[in-house]
Every structure is written in structure tokens, then in C-alpha cells.
Structure 1
Amino acid sequence: MSEWTIHGSRAIHTSPWVELDLVDVEPRGHPRYEHHLVKWAPVAATVVLSERDQVLMMWRHRFATDTWNWEIPSGIVEAGESLEAAAIREVEEETGWRVTTVEPLAHNQPAGGMSNAEHHVFLAREATYIAPPVDTHEADRIEWIPLDRIQEMTDRREIVAGVAVTGLLQLLARHP
């Protein structure tokens, strides 16, 4: 196997959040064809872990899948913003808790065959409550969930968002 040849592409739809392209590709030894590609800005997310081994989680509804689930703070990295700065900003905007430092925890490409999407998950070990969240539409509840409940909650599909599952399971794998 080898890399595919890209002969060109054209945008079908563009918005500030997503772009849909039709790409003229040719896999080695196979005929050319047009392939859809969904382009996203990178996403930064943060697992906030307290000194009492609790994780800051948000209970929210996702209209696209019509599901309720627990998630970690996350969002699109803005133009000119570092991944770390975006992760820190999203925690504060979505939860009202402030973190000042983050460290890399996980990275994934959730749909590599059809999208350039990249999720960068960070770990913050300290947080200070500063005010109610600015983004009040992001969550119905914000709670600190004991780390030892995360696996069972994931098994029960109470945590299903890919970026949250990736980050939380990485934390569980590394946590003593």
C-alpha cells in the first residue's frame, strides 16, 4: 500500500465551523474517484482532575444524536490560538472553573477516512471556581464525578462523546 494521489478538490459547502469538499483521489492501482472530505477546525478538550480524584463533567443534550450524556469541556480552537490556550478557555467558558496549566493527555482522529478532524485532549490537575459559566447553553448540570465511577458510566453509555471517552480512558489507564 502507498499514499493516494490527490488530483484536486473543490469546496461544496463552507461555514466558519465546517467545510465539505469533494476530492478527486486515486488509490494506487485503482481507478480515480471523487471522495467526500469533511474539514473541521481542531478541537481542544480538558479532563479536569481534582486532588480528590474527581473529574469535572457537564451533563448535556446533543441534538444531532438526540442523546444526553456526560462530557468534558471542549471546543474549537480559534484562529491564532494555541491548543493549550483553547483548552484552558473552554473550561472556563463552559463550566465557570479556571485552570491555568494543562498537559497533553490524548490525541485522536475520530473519522480519519472521511475527515481531517483532530481532537487534542489535555489534563488539568487544579481548578478554581470563579463564576457561573459564560456559555450557559453548554450544560444542564456541571458536577465533579468520582474517577472510580468513570469506567462504569462509560460502560452504561452515560459518557459517549468521542473526545470525552478518549481523554477519560487515557486518564484511567495512566492513573495509579
Structure 2
Amino acid sequence: MRWTVHSERDLYRDQWVHVAAADVELPDGRRLDHRIVRTAAPGAGIVVVSDRRVLLLWRHRFITDSYAWEIPHGSIRPGEDPAAAAAREAEEETGWRPEGPIRPLVYSQPSPGLMTSEHHIFRADSARYICTPRDAFESDRVEWVPIDEIRNLIDKRHIVAGTTLVALLYLLSEGG
């Protein structure tokens, strides 16, 4: 059932995010003042697998004041191919350059009832160490985590970020 948008007004806008309020009408005739968060660019991430291990970053997220494992992920630059963006993010955040074919793994809209964010997630089956991470501020450490430990890390809430969860659960559903 499609909602009707009667109007929209800006609440906040900067280089990363645009927050708006929309006057929407539900199919039953009720009206709501609904919030919309528009992100500036789509995101790209990558699951790099080698020897039944996955390349992950141990990150602190100040918003939730929590630590957890995440896949390399970031914004796609204007005109940049999503797969190239995913590979670039991996190299900048981990120091490892994905090699071989980089193929689509899964596409996700993390919260389509609130935001326009879309994430293109890829998979690579090898990587070569290039240098220390250029964006060393991204994580406390970078490690190759055994695929067999992923489920346990999720259960212990050591993997909680939505995009990482979707990507790794999809990987597990494929048999790793």
C-alpha cells in the first residue's frame, strides 16, 4: 500500500546528511509528520575471505560507545564504481588490497522506513598486504577472523553493525 506525500520541508542539511519532515497520508486516510534521513552517497563494503578467514576491523563507535568487528565499508565517491569503492575502502582501512575478481555479495537498504542509505557489498577471495592502514583512525586493530568464529561473535554481540551482519550472515548462508 503506497503512502501519499503531500509536502516535505528541510530540517537540517550538511555535506553528509539531509534530514527532512514529510507530511504523508496513509492508505486509511490518517496523516503523519514523518522524518526522512537522506545520506549524501551510497556506501560500499567488502567481505575479503582467505583461507576460511574474513578480514575485519575492531572499531569503537562513539555514538553507541561500543566496540565491535566490522567489514571495511565507506562512501562511494561521485563517479566511482561501487566495486572500486569497496576495494579502496578495504585498502585505506586495513592496508590489504583485495585481489582477483571482486564480485557482488549482497545489496542492502539498512533502514528504508527512515533513511535512503543503500549499501553495495562485495566479496573478494584474496588480498595482498600493501602497507599500514592509511586511515589508521578507523580501528584499533585489523585481523583475519576465522569464518567458523563468526556465529559465536554475533552471539556474543561482538558483531552488531547491520551491514556487517547482513554481509557475514549472507557469507555463512553460502557456506563461507
Q: Do the structures match in fold with TM over 0.5?
A: yes
Structure 1 runs, 4 residues or longer, greater than 3 Å off? none
User: Is 1:79 equivalent to 2:91 in the alignment?
Assistant: no
**RMSD between superposed Cα atoms in Å:** 1.2
Quick one: percent identity of the two aligned structures? 45
Q: Any idea what SS the aligned residue of 2:90 has?
A: helix
Deviation digits for residues 12-69 of structure 1 (CA, Å, limit 9, x no counterpart):
111111110111211122233321001112111111001x111001111000001111
- Stretch moving more, 134-143 or 102-111: 102-111
In structure 1, C-alpha distance between the alignment counterparts of 2:11 and 2:78, rounded to whole Å? 22
Q: How does 1:32-43 map to 2 (within 5 A)?
A: 32-40=31-39, 41-43=41-43
Q: How does 1:4-153 map to 2 (within 5 A)?
A: 4-40=3-39, 41-50=41-50, 52-100=51-99, 101-153=101-153
Q: Any idea what SS the aligned residue of 2:137 has?
A: coil
- Deviation (angstroms), 1:163: 0.8
**Unaligned runs of at least 5 residues, structure 2:** none
Deviation digits for residues 75-102 of structure 1 (CA, Å, limit 9, x no counterpart):
1112222211211110011001111442
In structure 1, C-alpha distance between the alignment counterparts of 2:143 and 2:169, rounded to whole Å? 18
Q: Any idea what SS the aligned residue of 2:88 has?
A: helix
User: Is 1:166 equivalent to 2:166 in the alignment?
Assistant: yes
**Unaligned runs of at least 5 residues, structure 1:** none
Q: Any idea what SS the aligned residue of 2:110 has?
A: coil
- Stretch moving more, 156-165 or 98-107: 98-107
In structure 2, C-alpha distance between the alignment counterparts of 1:168 and 1:151, rounded to whole Å? 9
